[in-house]
C-alpha cells in the first residue's frame, strides 16, 4: 500500500533523492507544488515525486510498493530515475508502453551566466513587438493560457503563480506570442519553461524572453535552471551561456494510448 506524504513530512525524503539534482524534486519536497508518495509515512523506503507530467523515483525498487508507485502515474508521464535497477524495473513493467528518449541537463552554476552577454539580447526586440513581465492581466489572458497551460498548471491557481512564479512575454498586437516562465519554483530558484507560437518561431523571440527571465532571477539571487527536451533547446541554452552537463534517459508513458 502507498500513502501520500503530507507537505510537512516531505522534507524527510530529501536524503533519499540526494543523488538526483532536478530542481522539480525540490519544488515538491520543499512544499511548493506537486505530490509525494511513499510506502510508509514514518519510515519510507521508496518514494515517488510528481510535479505536473514529471515523475521521479528513489529508494528500494525491489519492494512490492515500488511497483505500485510505478503504476501511480498521470495519464501522460515523463519518468526520470538514476539507477540501472530502476530503469530495468520500468522497462520490465511497461515493456513497449514506455518510450525511452534523452533529455539534457546543464551545470547548475550561475558563474556560467554572463550578465552583460545576456543583456545584449534585450536590445534585439523587433519593431512591432513588446517585451513585458507577466502581470495579472497577461496571466489571465486567453493568448497566454492558449500558448501553454504549463506556465500556471503546476501552481494552485493563477494568483498562486503570480505570487510565487515569474515570467516574461513578448506581445504582438497585444497578444502573447512567446513567453519564458517558471514551470516550477523552489527555495533557490525556478525551472524554466519556454513556448513560442508556431507562426512566430525562429525570430529570436525565445532568446529575448529567456534573457529577461534569467536576468530577473539572477538579480533576485535565484537560479534559473534549464533542462532541455531536444537539441534546439540545448543550443538556445548554450547561446545564453549554460554549460551542458550531459544527456540522461527519460521514459514517456502515455496511458491514453492504451485505453
**The pLDDT value given to residue 257:** 58
Same domain, yes or no: 78 and 47: yes
CA distances from 211 to 42, 180, 236 (A): 44, 9, 11
Same domain, yes or no: 7 and 98: yes
Same domain, yes or no: 63 and 155: no
Q: What total number of domains does the chain contain? A: 2
Quick one: average pLDDT of 16-31? 96
**The pLDDT value given to residue 197:** 97
Same domain, yes or no: 196 and 100: no
* CATH code for the domain of 26: 3.40.630.110
Same domain, yes or no: 99 and 120: no
Over the range 88-102, which residues count as b (16 or more CB within 10 Å of their CB) and which as e?
ebbeeebeeebeeee
Same domain, yes or no: 126 and 206: yes
Same domain, yes or no: 85 and 150: no
**The pLDDT value given to residue 168:** 98
Same domain, yes or no: 131 and 189: yes
Position 259 confidence tier, pLDDT thresholds 50, 70, 90: very low
Angle (CA) 74-78-79 rounded to 5° is 100
- Pick the closest to residue 214 from 257, 167, 171, 252 (CA basis): 167
Q: Residues 164, 151, 9, 79: is their CA dihedral positive or negative?
A: negative
For residue range 65-122, what is the model confidence (pLDDT) as tens digits? 999 999 999 999 999 999 999 999 999 999 888 999 999 999 999 999 999 999 999 9
Quote the domain boundaries for residue 145: 110-242
**The pLDDT value given to residue 255:** 72
**The pLDDT value given to residue 256:** 65
User: Checking phi first, is residue 128 left (phi over 0); if not, alpha (psi -120 to 50) or beta?
Assistant: left
Same domain, yes or no: 169 and 224: yes
Alpha helices (H) along the chain: 23-29, 64-70, 84-94, 115-119, 136-140, 142-147, 158-164, 205-220, 231-240
For residue range 119-157, what is the model confidence (pLDDT) as tens digits? 999 999 999 999 999 999 999 999 999 999 999 999 999
CA end-to-end span of the chain: 24
- Pick the closest to residue 36 from 16, 13, 19 (CA basis): 13
For residue range 25-70, what is the model confidence (pLDDT) as tens digits? 999 999 999 999 999 999 999 999 999 999 999 999 999 999 999 9
pTM for the predicted model, two decimal places: 0.94
Taking the C-alpha atoms of residue 246 and residue 259, their distance in angstroms, rounded to an integer, is: 35
248 or 258, which is more confident: 248
CA distances from 58 to 41, 45, 69, 70, 217 (A): 15, 9, 11, 11, 29
Amino acid at each position: 500500500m502507498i500513502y501520500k506524504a503530507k507537505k510537512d513530512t516531505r522534507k524527510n525524503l530529501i536524503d533519499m533523492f540526494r543523488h538526483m539534482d532536478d530542481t522539480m524534486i525540490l519544488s515538491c519536497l520543499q512544499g511548493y507544488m506537486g505530490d509525494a508518495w511513499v510506502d510508509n509515512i514514518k519510515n519510507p523506503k521508496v518514494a515517488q515525486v510528481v510535479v505536473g507530467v514529471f515523475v521521479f523515483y528513489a529508494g528500494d525498487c525491489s519492494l512490492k510498493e515500488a511497483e505500485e508507485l510505478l503504476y501511480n502515474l498521470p495519464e501522460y508521464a515523463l519518468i526520470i530515475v538514476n539507477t540501472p535497477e530502476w530503469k530495468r524495473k520500468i522497462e520490465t513493467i511497461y515493456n513497449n508502453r514506455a518510450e525511452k528518449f534523452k533529455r539534457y541537463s546543464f551545470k547548475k552554476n550561475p558563474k556560467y551566466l554572463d550578465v552583460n552577454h545576456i543583456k545584449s539580447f534585450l536590445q534585439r526586440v523587433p519593431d512591432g513587438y513588446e517585451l513585458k513581465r507577466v502581470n495579472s492581466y497577461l496571466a489571465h489572458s486567453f493568448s497566454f493560457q492558449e500558448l501553454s497551460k504549463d506556465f500556471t498548471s503546476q501552481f494552485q491557481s493563477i494568483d498562486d503563480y503570480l505570487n510565487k512564479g515569474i515570467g516574461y512575454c513578448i506581445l504582438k498586437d497585444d497578444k502573447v506570442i512567446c513567453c519564458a516562465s517558471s514551470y516550477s519554483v523552489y527555495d533557490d530558484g525556478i525551472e524554466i519553461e519556454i513556448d513560442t507560437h508556431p507562426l512566430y518561431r525562429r525570430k529570436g523571440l525565445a532568446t529575448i524572453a529567456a534573457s529577461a527571465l534569467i536576468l530577473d532571477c539572477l538579480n533576485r539571487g535565484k537560479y534559473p535552471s534549464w533542462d532541455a527536451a531536444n537539441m534546439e533547446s540545448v543550443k538556445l541554452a548554450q547561446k545564453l551561456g549554460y554549460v551542458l552537463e550531459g544527456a540522461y534517459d527519460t521514459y514517456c508513458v502515455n496511458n491514453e494510448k492504451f485505453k
